[in-house]
Amino acid sequence: TAPEAQLEVRGATKRYGGLTAVDSVSFDVRRGEIFGIAGPNGAGKTTLFDLITGMVRATSGEVLFEGSPIQRSSIHEICHLGITRTFQKPSVFDSETVMGNAVVGAHFGSGKPWWRSLTRDPEVWDRAGAALEFVGLGDRAAEVSGPLPVYDKKRLMIASALASSPSMLFLDEPFGGLTDDEIDALLQLLERINDAGITIVLIEHVMRALMALADRVLIMDQGRTLRQGEPREVMSDPEVVRVYLGSS
Ligand code: ATP
């Protein structure tokens, strides 16, 4: 039997005036896989994430999650279905504690009124604490987030996403700006998240990380799909090599 598609993107298109940021992109993400997206600057990768996660409306096309269309659902509805994302820039609430950030993430997956979640729902706090433990920040829950180094902010952003109990995690360039050792540590963390049964879709420029993690990759260029398939095959494709060399 064919592997089950957890997410199906069909002809996804986003136009901004005369510019087509995402142009008829189609792909499936299978349950439990790690799916990579790459391509030069401005290729449309982040816009593709935005339209899957409900942050922008697709101009046309369809997105199916677990077989149901979500292209008209709100960010909150999509989050409650089990899709969470992180952003390219480490975005945490700087003045909040590490635990505070994780609680905000946990609240989004709870489906409960914010005042109940944030102030007294023990289940939300438990999930936030468990997510911090998972990424190795358990003993730093009381620290203020602002002064944390980049890697810790990235881990915190991932913990906050995990705290909403997603079944599919979208990561926008998680390896950007990390040292080699931090890249190794994040590779291990993402493997553990995937081993816990969470499907991962990531945009990534760091080829070493993409090649180590991704079961399949999609290469975008100027809004379109250039190639998709098995990473080694796709990345050695002359057209993909040309686009990458041409953009650097
Ligand atoms: P990068 O690797 O630099 O993050 P990307 O592949 O993620 O690039 P996008 O950020 O999705 O590319 O941008 C794709 C194109 O759409 C770019 O030309 C960008 O300027 C344009 N674009 C993105 N968002 C908007 C917007 N809100 N309004 C107008 N144009 C936009």
- Strands 60-65 and 68-69: what pairing? antiparallel
pLDDT band at 125 (very low <50, low <70, confident <90, very high): confident
For position 4, what pLDDT does the model report? 83
At 106, is the pLDDT very low, low, confident or very high (cuts 50, 70, 90)? Answer: confident
Strands (E), the chain: 5-16, 19-30, 34-38, 60-65, 68-69, 83-85, 168-172, 199-203, 216-221, 224-229
Cα–Cα separations (whole angstroms), residue 6 to 2, 63, 152, 171, 173: 12, 11, 30, 17, 22
Query: Order of strands, edge to edge, in the sheet holding 60-65?
Result: 19-30, 5-16, 60-65, 68-69
Residue 109's pLDDT is what? 67
Residue 99 CB-density burial (10 A; 0-12 exposed, 13-18 middle, 19+ buried): buried
**Could you read off the pLDDT of 65-74 as tens digits, one per residue?**
999 999 999 9
Complex prediction ipTM:
0.95
Atom of ligand 1 nearest to the CA of 22: 14
Cβ of 19 closer than 6 Å to ligand 1, yes or no, is yes
**Residue 241 in contact with ligand 1 by CB distance below 6 A:** no
**Measured from the CB, is residue 45 less than 6 Å from ligand 1?**
yes
User: How many CA atoms within 13 Å lie on the side-chain side of 133?
Assistant: 6
Measured over all CA atoms, what is the biggest interatomic distance in the chain, rounded to whole angstroms? 57
pLDDT at 107: 79
Residue having the nearest C-alpha atom to atom 10 of ligand 1: 46
Residue ID of nearest Cα to ligand 1 atom 22:
21
Residue the block writes with tokens 């926008």: 172
Q: Is 44 in the pocket of ligand 1 (CB under 6 A)?
A: yes
What is the position in ligand 1's atom list of the atom closest to the CA of 44? 11
The residue whose C-alpha atom lies closest to atom 27 belonging to ligand 1 is: 16
Give residues with Cβ within 8 angstroms of 48, minimum separation 6. Answer: 9, 12, 14, 22, 25, 37, 220
Contact 95, 144 (CB under 8 A): yes
Residues 117-121, mean pLDDT to the nearest whole number: 64
| Entry pTM | 0.93
Q: What is the pLDDT of residues 28-66, one digit of tens each?
A: 999 999 999 999 999 999 999 999 999 999 999 999 999
Is the model's pLDDT at 75 over the cut of 60? yes
**Residues 85, 95, 76: CA angle, nearest 5 degrees:** 30
pLDDT at 238: 92
